[in-house]
Amino acid sequence: MSYAVKGAPFRYRGAVNVEECKTAADVMSAAGLDWEVAKCELVAKMPIHTDKPENGGFVFGSNNYVDCPNAYATYRTDYNIPLGIVKERYTPVQNIDAFTFFDGAIGKDKVIWQTAGFFGSGERIFVSAKLPKNILVDGDPVENYLVFTTSHDGSSGVKILFTPIRVVCQNTLNAAIATSSNFVSFRHTKSVHQKIDVAAEILGICDSQIQFLNEQYNFMKKIKMDDIKAQEIFANVILTEDEQFRVKQTGHTIGQIVTRDWRAIQDSQISMKKVNTIAEMNNYYFSGAGQREILGTAWGVYGAVTGYYANVDNSEGTKRMDSLLYGDKSRKIELAGNLLIAA
C-alpha cells in the first residue's frame, strides 16, 4: 500500500502563497486579509412575559432588546460578520498591525513568508514563515517554520508556533519534546527598534530550538527498535492505560490488535476506530513515504505516527491545520516523541 503526501498543513487549498511579500502589511494585502475589525455593544433579544401558559408564559420572536453589561461583539467591518464576544477592555488589533514586529527578520536573515489565511469567518488568521536553517537527521532533512496566529474572538493574542517539517514526507513534527516548548513567546511593542529586537530575539530562540531538536532527532535515529516495540508505541499513543491493561489481562498481545484479531478485539473491548488507527500506523511504518530508509529505529516509529496524522487521517483544510498544530493530533505526536526519547 502506498500513501499520498498531503503537504504542510499551512499549505492547504485556500491558503495564499505570500513568498514574494517583504512586510506583514504586504502579506495582508496579497492574502485579502486587509479588512478591519471593530467592536460594538452586545444586546440580547429577550422574550416577553405574558399571562398565557404557552412556552412557560413567554413569547419569543419579539423586538424586546436588552443591553448586555460588559459584553461586546467583534466583527468584520467589510461584511459586518460577527467574530466573537469580548469584554469592554478588549481592544481589537488589526490584521495589518498584528505581525509587523517580525518585519525586521524578513529577507535580511533569509526568513521568507510562506502562506497566509484564516479560520472560519476570520476569528483567527495565520501567517507562516520559513526559517533558513534545516536539521539533518543522518542526511534526512527537516525544514523549520514559524506559524503566527492572532485571534479576533478574544481567545488569544499573537502566538508563534515553531514547526519542523520532514521534507521527504512533509510530516508535521512536534517541537515539544523532552520538556522543550514548541511555542515562542515575545514582548509585543510599538517601537520600531524594539520590534527589530523582538525579531532578533525570536530568531535566537529558534536557533537554540533547532540545535536542541537536531540532537533529539539524531538520538532517535540511533535507537534500535523492533516491530513489537514499534507496535507498543503505537498502542501507547492511541489506547488508554486501562485499554492496554485489558489486552494483557485477557491474554492477548498488541500484535493481535494490529492484525485485527477479532477475538482479541472483542475480549479487550477496544473500539474498531482505535484498532484501525493502530493498524494504519503500523502499515504506514512499513509503507509510508520515506519510511524504508529508517525502519527499525525510533526515528522510523516517530515517522509512522507523524505520517499517519499528516497523510492518512481524513481531515482537510483549516481543520487539519488546527489539529496538527494546536489540537489532538499535535498532542499525540508530542506523546510519541516523548515515549521514544525515553525508550
Q: What is the pLDDT of residue 188?
A: 47
Q: pLDDT digit string (tens) for 249-274?
A: 999 999 999 999 999 999 999 999 99
The yes-or-no verdict on residue 104 having pLDDT over 70 is yes
Percent share of the chain, pLDDT over 90: 69
In the block, cell 521534507 appears at: 167
In the block, cell 525579531 appears at: 199
Grid cell in block for residue 282 = 503500523
Query: In the structure, what pLDDT confidence band is assigned to residue 97 with cuts at 50, 70 and 90?
Result: confident
Rg (alpha carbons) of the chain, rounded to whole number: 24
The yes-or-no verdict on residue 190 having pLDDT over 60 is no
Backbone angles phi, psi at 56, to 5 degrees: 75, 20
Q: What is the pLDDT of residue 197?
A: 73
In the block, cell 500500500 appears at: 1
Q: What is the pLDDT of residue 60?
A: 60
The yes-or-no verdict on residue 131 having pLDDT over 60 is yes
Q: pLDDT digit string (tens) for 60-77?
A: 666 778 888 889 999 999
Grid cell in block for residue 228 = 513489537
The yes-or-no verdict on residue 178 having pLDDT over 70 is no
Q: pLDDT digit string (tens) for 282-321?
A: 999 999 999 999 999 999 999 999 999 999 988 899 999 9
The yes-or-no verdict on residue 101 having pLDDT over 60 is yes
Number of residues in the chain: 343
Least confident of 1-10, 17-26, 42-51, 78-87: 42-51
Largest CA-CA distance found in the chain, in angstroms, rounded? 79
Q: Report the run of H or E that residue 203 belongs to, with start and end.
A: helix 192-222
pTM, 2 dp: 0.89
The yes-or-no verdict on residue 186 having pLDDT over 60 is no
Q: What is the pLDDT of residue 50?
A: 62
Q: Classify each residue of 285-323 as buried b or exposed e, where b means 16 or more C-beta atoms within 10 Å of its C-beta.
A: beebbbbeebbebbbbbbbbbbbbbbbbeebeebebbbb
Q: What is the pLDDT of residue 185?
A: 59
Q: What is the pLDDT of residue 195?
A: 60
Beta-ladder partners of 17: 115
Determine whether 62 is exposed, middle or buried from the number of CB atoms within 10 Å of its CB (0-12, 13-18, 19+).
exposed
Determine whether 80 is exposed, middle or buried from the number of CB atoms within 10 Å of its CB (0-12, 13-18, 19+).
exposed
Q: pLDDT digit string (tens) for 110-121?
A: 899 999 999 999
Domains of the chain: which residue ranges? 9-34+93-212, 37-86, 221-341
The yes-or-no verdict on residue 88 having pLDDT over 90 is no
